[in-house]
Amino acid sequence: MIEALWRKLWRHRRLLTAGIVAILVAHALAGSSLVVPVGLSLLLVASVLVVGDGENQNGEGAGAAMADDLQRLPAEHLAQAVTDPLILFDRTATVVHANAAAIATFGSLAPGLSLPLKFRAPEMQVLLDNVLSGSVGADSIDYAEKLPVERLYRVSASTVGHGSGLYVLIFKDQSEARRIDRMRADFIANASHELRTPLASISGFIETLRGPARNDAAARDKFLQIMQNQTGRMARLIDDLLSLSRLEMKPYLRPGSRVDLTGTLKAVIDTLTPLAKDNGVVIEREFPDEPTEIPGDRDELFQVFENLVENACKYGQSGGRVVVSVTPGHDGPEPTVDVTVRDFGPGIAEEHIPRVTERFYRIDAESSRAQKGTGLGLAIVKHILTRHHGRLSIASEPGKGAAFTVHLPAN
């Protein structure tokens, strides 16, 4: 301790000397004894230096201790903290360690397993060869897994440290981003097609009216009616596109108000009764007369049920009736209110059911266009229900009609 103190005093000798000189001058001027004050002053200066140096050493020591702890932290603990699949391997491309995410994604990855045998895709072989040969320090590729479901990964490979003889593979799942890109491209293509068809029709009729049918009154009236129908179709499509865009801007914003569900359904049925009569359909009600309140946005829920009831009247008109019912639901962990719109028309084949809520997906394109459908109605329904933390289920058999059930949280 004494030796360490002298070393510290020596390091700060200039400051200490200046302090002693100042003390001596002060006491000489005062004419008092110097022994005790100087001794006390030296002890004070030494303690300040020791404490100050000790604080610096404590800070440096804490940082050094943390660095030592990090160096002693097992590599598998760090690997487990990574949420993406991660595989450590050696110079022979043999698995040394795989984290839980890698095992959950790719199955058994026991130490000693050969990576070229596990991942046989040519691009993976090239990636491993490049990194192991030392031609590159790090590299990345796109890699697709086909089974059990198709997934797309961005795979990065690099060395671990310097001279460790270890390498790492990290798999970043790009499936959702690729799905969104593909959906966006499909959406643009479909929207362009839907708008191009009526525009081509209108352009053709305008050309005919300016040429051969210039003085043909009957043809002119017929073509103008078709042009009016086509412009109406484009207007409906644009309205649905704008509605879908607005919903996508607020998909997870939970409505703060409460809605009388039975009152909303009555308003929907009253609105669509003339359409039902035109199609030879009777809309039947099976719900309680008293109000059924749930959290939600009335305008958006009105749009949901208007879409469903209108579809039932149009595509299920051969059944002659549509039944709208409200029942309590107990299928999930939380209570729900279930609204079912059932028709008795031709029904929907099983292979179409998972896709009917996709944008522009049509079971029968000609029938849909004849009914003035845009192919976006059920996509809008799905987005509104997502915003309301609800869901849509569909049950149907060909020849026995279809039942669309909306499950909405009761609380």
The last residue of a domain, from among 42, 72, 102: 72
pLDDT of residue 158: 92
Average pLDDT estimate for 87-100: 92
What average pLDDT does the structure give for the chain?
Answer: 77
Tell whether 253 is covered by a domain.
no
Is the model's pLDDT at 58 over the cut of 70? no
Return the minimum-mean-pLDDT range out of 77-86, 175-184, 248-257, 281-290: 248-257
One domain for residues 153 and 221: no
Show the domain range for 332.
258-409
Three-class HEC string of the chain = CHHHHHHHHHHCHHHHHHHHHHHHHHHHHHCCCCHHHHHHHHHHHHHHHHHHHHHHHHHHHHHHHHHHHHHHCCHHHHHHCCCCCEEEECCCCEEEEECHHHHHHHCCCCCCCEHHHHCCCHHHHHHHHHHHHCCCCEEEEEEEECCCCCEEEEEEEEEECCCCCEEEEEEEECHHHHHHHHHHHHHHHHHHHHHHHHHHHHHHHHHHHHCCCCCCHHHHHHHHHHHHHHHHHHHHHHHHHHHHHHHHCCCCCCCCCEEEHHHHHHHHHHHHHHHHHHCCCEEEEECCCCCCEEECCHHHHHHHHHHHHHHHHHHCHHHCEEEEEEEEECCCCCCEEEEEEEECCCCCCHHHHHHCCCCCCCCCHHHHHHCCCCCCHHHHHHHHHHHCCCEEEEEECCCCCEEEEEEEECC
Tell whether 344 is covered by a domain.
yes
Return the minimum-mean-pLDDT range out of 89-98, 123-132, 383-392: 383-392
pLDDT of residue 113: 92
User: pLDDT: is 205 or 89 the higher one?
Assistant: 89
d(CA 138, CA 167): 10
User: pLDDT: is 331 or 214 the higher one?
Assistant: 214
d(CA 388, CA 253): 8
One domain for residues 218 and 322: no
pLDDT of residue 7: 58
Tell whether 99 is covered by a domain.
yes
Average pLDDT estimate for 177-187: 76
Q: What is the CATH number of the domain that holds 142?
A: 3.30.450.20
One domain for residues 314 and 358: yes
One domain for residues 231 and 319: no
Distances (CA, A) of 410 to 96, 263, 269, 325: 52, 16, 22, 16
User: pLDDT: is 253 or 140 the higher one?
Assistant: 140
Number of domains making up the chain? 4
Tell whether 47 is covered by a domain.
yes
Average pLDDT estimate for 261-277: 89
pTM of the full predicted structure? Answer: 0.53
One domain for residues 56 and 89: no
One domain for residues 67 and 81: no
Q: What is the CATH number of the domain that holds 387?
A: 3.30.565.10
Q: How confident is the model at residue 185 (pLDDT cuts 50, 70, 90)?
A: confident
Other C-beta atoms lying within 10 Å of the C-beta of residue 114: 12
Q: What is the CATH number of the domain that holds 191?
A: 1.10.287.130
Q: What are phi and psi of 70, to 5 degrees?
A: -65, -40
Reported as a single tens digit per residue, the pLDDT across 342-354 is 998 888 888 888 8
Return the minimum-mean-pLDDT range out of 129-138, 164-173, 238-247, 370-379: 370-379
Is the model's pLDDT at 56 over the cut of 80? no
Q: How confident is the model at residue 25 (pLDDT cuts 50, 70, 90)?
A: very low
Percent of the chain with pLDDT over 70: 74
Closest to 82 measured CA to CA, from 153, 144, 171, 142? 171
Is the model's pLDDT at 332 over the cut of 70? no
Distances (CA, A) of 170 to 83, 108, 365: 10, 16, 45
Is the model's pLDDT at 64 over the cut of 80? no
One domain for residues 235 and 345: no
User: pLDDT: is 75 or 277 the higher one?
Assistant: 277
Q: How confident is the model at residue 43 (pLDDT cuts 50, 70, 90)?
A: very low
Is the model's pLDDT at 51 over the cut of 70? no
User: pLDDT: is 328 or 75 the higher one?
Assistant: 328
pLDDT of residue 77: 65
Return the minimum-mean-pLDDT range out of 295-304, 315-324, 370-379: 370-379
pLDDT of residue 33: 43
One domain for residues 160 and 281: no
Is the model's pLDDT at 23 over the cut of 60? no
Is the model's pLDDT at 390 over the cut of 60? yes
d(CA 29, CA 244): 91
pLDDT of residue 245: 74
Q: How confident is the model at residue 34 (pLDDT cuts 50, 70, 90)?
A: very low
One domain for residues 13 and 29: yes
Is the model's pLDDT at 363 over the cut of 90? no
Average pLDDT estimate for 69-82: 62
One domain for residues 322 and 401: yes
Tokens of 304: 């949901």
314 in Cβ contact with 354 (< 8 Å): no
Tokens of 297: 């946005």
Strand 282-286 with 321-329, pairing: parallel
pLDDT of residue 28: 45
pLDDT of residue 168: 92
Closest to 285 measured CA to CA, from 302, 314, 264, 303? 264
Return the minimum-mean-pLDDT range out of 156-165, 220-229, 233-242: 233-242
pLDDT of residue 156: 93
pLDDT of residue 409: 86
Tell whether 376 is covered by a domain.
yes
One domain for residues 111 and 197: no
One domain for residues 309 and 378: yes
Average pLDDT estimate for 286-297: 83
The last residue of a domain, from among 52, 72, 92: 72
